[in-house]
């Protein structure tokens, strides 16, 4: 959530800042602003609403001079979305400007103290406290002052700071919230994420916690809070720049749905050598793995839904008890975790606040942590004992698609790999699973080729008011994700239920015309799911069923059907999720929703 950009160089900064913020729109925001240092004063332009409003206000940046500046897209936490609460925030005398991602937990105490000292506040945000503290403590050395202020702050933050007194400098700081430094020739940049600067440079530093970057036109210096120099390794981003662009598609989400065969291939193929799953990135030894008596999976949102699938998969193939926990709940329930527990953490961004803190809790209790992450060098990746990267490439749409699918692929790799270690996956089964996994990209292409059928069904059903997803076993795990996709981008009320629970209350909500999406891919329980479909249909439900192509008899039960190719039960979610993604996409499109940037949502949730 929220986005930061900054520029120092010899070109006019405003057009770049606006362009960079545009590349960060996917993170979610409700207001935007920029601040330029024109060599004499700090000029701030900010507004509630979309970035288009800021562009109009500044004539696409042409009306603001200055070759040093910072910009921000805000997702409101403290204070309602408004012009005055938008970032950047100025200090009392307009001497300092700050942009901030994160939350300052003790801001009320700090604000009261500064007010008692005569300082005046304009906004209701926690961020303004930072700008005011910098002014209050400023002693002529901006870096020393920022370090002193950091010692007063409790919470998480990524900061960009500029000063009227220092027209040739930007200060950037990171604690818990991600921030990168872009390295150019006679110009340098700060940003929350790579897409903001990809058009300018591929060379970056990733700031770690409590590191401070001092950016000038001719270079970047990194120090810690003791003012000791920090030597950083330059990371070169190897994305094709087109990966962060729409490439002719109307929406990033649709592009990313279509990219799933390649993303899964890129995640899986390099890790299968001579028919064997090879996870070189894991340092955990077979002997250590055999010592675990439980697996805990920690995640939020769609990553948690991957974890629910993983629970079914791991328990079937590893025969170890597995708990899939919402990270936000795990932190506060005094969990039973120790050195005999393996913790698997799943996060696309690697910066999800609740997941990160839950991981720390597991580590404090002695658990070994393996993370499944898409962003190299992210906080969760760096703090895990082992990390397996998904190679999905950049995912721009807020609603995840290819990140979810590549996380599933890693789950399959782990099930095969660890099942072999434990002897719970025999050779014939091992070979079959590897073959099925390698065939997934082509089978997903087959599903994608049927997208016009899904579009047609969406056109028939998009006016529904309530939707219920039902399924059993691994189909129930998948129904959670299907329901989330629909509700987050179409704003239709949607819920997922284990089909066997219908008679325990939920069936009372079924009435004429209620859309029920039934998942019936799990072979051992298809007959029971058909029975549940009949139950809701006799009560007036309009049933859309998703099943494997060898079960055409379902057409006599459901009003509408979608068929997918047959594969092993463990991997069916990878095929079945695709039509659910497409259905959500087309429904949202027909309703005229902002598909890539749904209201109130953010791509990376870096605060509780």
**Separation between Cα atoms, residue 124 and residue 223, nearest integer Å:** 32
User: Which of the four pLDDT bands, split at 50, 70 and 90, describes residue 598?
Assistant: confident
* For residues 278-292, average pLDDT: 93
pLDDT of residue 266: 94
| Cα angle value 234/239/245 (rounded, 5°) | 130
- Those residues whose C-beta lies under 8 Å from the C-beta of residue 218, and which sit 6 or more positions away, are 186
Q: In this predicted structure, what is the pLDDT of residue 74?
A: 78
pLDDT at residue 87 tops 90: no
Q: Between residues 78 and 36, which one has the greater pLDDT?
A: 36
The CATH architecture of the domain made up of 3-242 is 4-Layer Sandwich (3.60)
Per-residue pLDDT at 509: 82
Q: Are 514 and 463 in contact (CB under 8 A)?
A: no
pLDDT digits (tens, 9 = 90+) for 471-485: 999 999 999 999 999
Report pLDDT digits (tens) over 375-409: 887 889 889 999 999 999 888 888 999 999 999 99
Those residues with Cβ within 8 angstroms of residue 441's Cβ, 6 or more apart along the chain or in another chain: 261, 262, 264, 265
Is a pLDDT exceeding 90 seen at residue 27? no
CATH second-level architecture of 252-448? 3-Layer(aba) Sandwich (3.40)
Beta bridge partner(s), residue 386: 370
Whether 458 shows a pLDDT value over 80: the answer reads yes
Lowest mean pLDDT among 57-61, 148-152, 290-294, 421-425: 57-61
Token pair listed for 319: 């025969």
Task: Say whether pLDDT at 439 is over 60.
Answer: yes
Residue 2 known to be catalytic? yes
Section 216-232 average pLDDT: 94
Residues 99-146 pLDDT 10s? 998 888 898 999 999 999 999 898 888 889 999 999 999 999 999 999
Q: Mean pLDDT across the stretch 150-158?
A: 90
Strands (E), 15-115: 31-37, 42-48, 68-74, 89-90, 96-104
- CB-CB contact of 264 with 438 (8 Å): no
Tell me the C-alpha distance between 1 and 452, whole Å.
33
Candidates 55, 255, 311, 603; catalytic one: 603
Lowest mean pLDDT among 225-234, 442-451, 501-510, 544-553: 501-510
Vertex 441 angle, CA 437 and 445, to 5°: 145
Q: What is the pLDDT of residue 449?
A: 95
The answer to whether the CB of 5 falls within 8 A of the CB of 25 is: no
DSSP 493-548: EEEEEEGGGGGGTGGGG--TT-EEEEEE--GGGHHHHHHHHHHHHTTT-EEEEEEE
Determine the pLDDT at residue 603: 61
User: Which DSSP letter does residue 485 get?
Assistant: H
Residue 254: how many CA atoms within 13 Å on its side-chain side?
Answer: 16
Q: Is 603 a known active-site residue?
A: yes
Asked which of 500-509, 528-537, 546-555 is least confident by mean pLDDT, the reply is 500-509
Whether the pLDDT of residue 607 is over 60: the answer is: no
Buried b (16+ CB within 10 A) or exposed e, 234-264: ebebeeeeebbbeeeeebbbbbbbbbbbbbb
Rounded to 5, what percent of the chain is helix, strand, coil? 40, 25, 35
| Cβ proximity of 190 and 133 under 8 Å | no
pLDDT given for residue 15 in this prediction = 93
pLDDT-derived band at 78 (thresholds 50, 70, 90) equals low
- Phi and psi dihedrals of 86, rounded to 5? -65, 155
> pTM of this prediction?
0.80
Please tell me if the domain spanning 252-448 has the same topology as the one spanning 451-590.
yes
The superfamily in CATH containing domain 451-590 is Glucose-6-phosphate isomerase like protein; domain 1 (3.40.50.10490)
Q: Is the confidence at residue 521, as pLDDT, over 90? A: yes
Q: Which of 2, 548, 567, 593 is catalytic?
A: 2
The C-alpha angle with vertex 184 and arms to 182 and 187, in degrees rounded to 5, equals 100
Residue 506 pLDDT grade (very low, low, confident, very high; cuts 50, 70, 90): confident
Bond from prior residue into 396 cis (ω within 30 degrees of 0):
no
Domain ranges of the chain: 3-242, 252-448, 451-590
- The answer to whether residue 201 scores a pLDDT higher than 90 is yes
pLDDT, average across residues 287-296 = 96
């Amino acid at each position: 959530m929220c986005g930061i950009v900054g520029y120092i160089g010899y070109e006019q900064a405003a057009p770049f800042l606006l362009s960079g913020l545009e590349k960060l729109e996917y993170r979610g925001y409700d207001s935007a602003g920029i601040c330029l240092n024109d060599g004499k004063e700090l000029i701030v332009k900010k507004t509630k609403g979309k970035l288009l409003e800021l562009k109009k206000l500044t004539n696409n940046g042409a009306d603001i001079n200055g070759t040093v500046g910072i910009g921000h897209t805000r997702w409101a936490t403290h204070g309602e979305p408004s012009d005055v609460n938008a970032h950047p925030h100025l200090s009392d005398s307009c001497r300092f400007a700050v942009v901030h991602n994160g939350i300052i937990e003790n801001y009320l105490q700090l604000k009261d103290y500064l007010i008692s000292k005569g300082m005046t506040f304009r906004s209701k945000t926690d961020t303004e406290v930072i700008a005011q503290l910098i002014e209050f403590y400023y002693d002529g050395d901006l870096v020393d002052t920022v370090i002193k202020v950091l010692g007063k702050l409790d919470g998480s933050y990524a900061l960009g700071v500029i000063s009227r007194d220092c027209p040739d400098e930007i200060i950037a700081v990171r604690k818990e919230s991600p921030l990168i430094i872009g390295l150019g020739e006679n110009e340098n940049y700060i940003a929350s994420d790579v897409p903001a600067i990809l058009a300018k440079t591929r060379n970056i530093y990733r700031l770690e916690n409590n590191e401070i970057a001092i950016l000038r036109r001719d270079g970047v210096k990194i120090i810690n809070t003791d003012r000791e120099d920090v030597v950083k390794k330059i990371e070169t981003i190897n994305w094709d720049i087109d990966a962060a662009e729409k490439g002719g598609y109307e929406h990033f989400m649709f592009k990313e749905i279509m990219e799933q065969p390649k993303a899964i291939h890129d995640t899986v193929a390099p890790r299968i050598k001579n028919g064997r799953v090879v996870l070189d990135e894991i340092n955990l030894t077979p002997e250590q793995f055999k010592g675990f008596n439980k697996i805990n999976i920690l995640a939020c949102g769609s990553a948690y839904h991957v974890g629910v699938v993983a629970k079914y998969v791991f328990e079937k193939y590893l025969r170890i008890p597995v708990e899939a926990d919402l990270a936000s709940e795990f932190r506060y329930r005094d969990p039973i975790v120790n050195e005999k527990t393996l913790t698997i953490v799943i996060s696309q961004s690697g910066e999800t606040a609740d997941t990160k803190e839950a991981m720390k809790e597991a580590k404090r209790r002695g658990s070994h942590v393996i993370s499944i992450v898409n962003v190299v060098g992210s906080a969760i990746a760096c703090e895990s004992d082992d990390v397996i990267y998904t190679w999905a490439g950049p995912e721009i749409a807020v609603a995840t698609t290819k990140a979810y699918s590549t996380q599933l692929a890693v789950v399959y790799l782990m099930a095969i790999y660890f099942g072999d270690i434990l002897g719970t996956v025999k050779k014939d089964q091992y070979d079959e699973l590897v073959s099925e996994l390698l065939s997934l990209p082509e089978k997903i292409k087959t599903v994608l080729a049927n997208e016009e059928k899904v579009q047609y069904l969406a056109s028939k059903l998009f006016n529904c008011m309530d939707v219920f997803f039902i399924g059993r076993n691994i189909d129930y795990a998948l129904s959670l994700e299907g329901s989330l996709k629909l509700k987050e981008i179409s704003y239709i009320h949607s819920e997922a239920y284990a089909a066997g629970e219908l008679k325990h209350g939920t069936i009372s909500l079924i009435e004429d015309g209620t859309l029920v999406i039934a998942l019936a891919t799990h072979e051992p329980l298809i007959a029971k799911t058909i029975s549940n479909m009949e139950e809701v249909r006799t009560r007036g439900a309009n049933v859309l069923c998703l099943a494997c192509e060898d079960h055409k008899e379902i057409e006599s039960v459901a009003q509408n059907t979608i068929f997918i190719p047959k594969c092993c039960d463990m991997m069916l979610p990878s095929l079945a999720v695709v039509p659910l993604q497409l259905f959500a996409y087309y429904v949202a499109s027909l309703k005229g929703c902002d598909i890539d940037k749904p209201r109130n949502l953010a791509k990376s949730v870096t605060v509780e």
